[in-house]
Amino acid sequence: TTCGCTNAQIDSPIINPGEKAMIRLTYNPFGQPGTIYTRAFVYASISEKRPVAALTILGKVTPSAALWKDYRYTMGHLKIRAKTLNMGTVTSTMHKVERIACANAGSAPLKIGAVKGFLPEFLSLRTEPEVLEPAQEGFLIVELDGEKLSEQKGQKSFSILLDGISGRPSDRTIKISMDIK
């Protein structure tokens, strides 16, 4: 098979002329949500280097709720492990990157950003990958450019409204805090 998540079994390893045998493919979908395309190649004594047939499993695996149990928060179809992020002490000479694990629990791709006006100019926000496909895990990336901090000092907290997901503003907001020196 082309995937460790697929198991192939044949009821008789030797098939004489005129006989039949059943090849059974079993796919284990656990932890494999999304589109599935896997193949099993059938080899015979007439050609041990090239398969005589290829069997294909094609379909879609719907994720179970248990798949997202490690993600505590739901923002529309975005599952996220934390809604707060403390960047610690930052200075004007720093470039800092922090990550929050996230996943797309919906059936359509998600492109997440920040609503204009809610993200200070010294912060940027994106996901890796840039577009989260259905059932795909990734990271929400918050990047700080210390050179753009200007004259701000002290303990600061920013509420960042996420774009690209549905829900009330209070349900799609993350809080980023830092101590600016």
- Tell me the pLDDT tens digit for each residue of 81-117: 999 999 999 999 999 999 999 999 998 999 999 999 9
Domain boundary among 41, 62, 83: 62
Task: Please report the pLDDT score of residue 56 as a whole number.
Answer: 87
- Residues 56, 84: one domain? no
Summarize pLDDT for 51-78 with one digit per residue, the tens: 888 888 888 877 666 667 889 999 999 9
CA–CA separation, 82 vs 108, rounded Å? 22
Give the pTM. 0.64
- Residues 36, 75: one domain? no
- Residues 131, 56: one domain? no
Task: Please report the pLDDT score of residue 180 as a whole number.
Answer: 92
Is there a domain that residue 1 lies in?
A: no
Per the structure, how many domains does the chain have? 2
Domain that holds residue 41: 6-62
CA–CA separation, 155 vs 59, rounded Å? 51
- Residues 93, 14: one domain? no
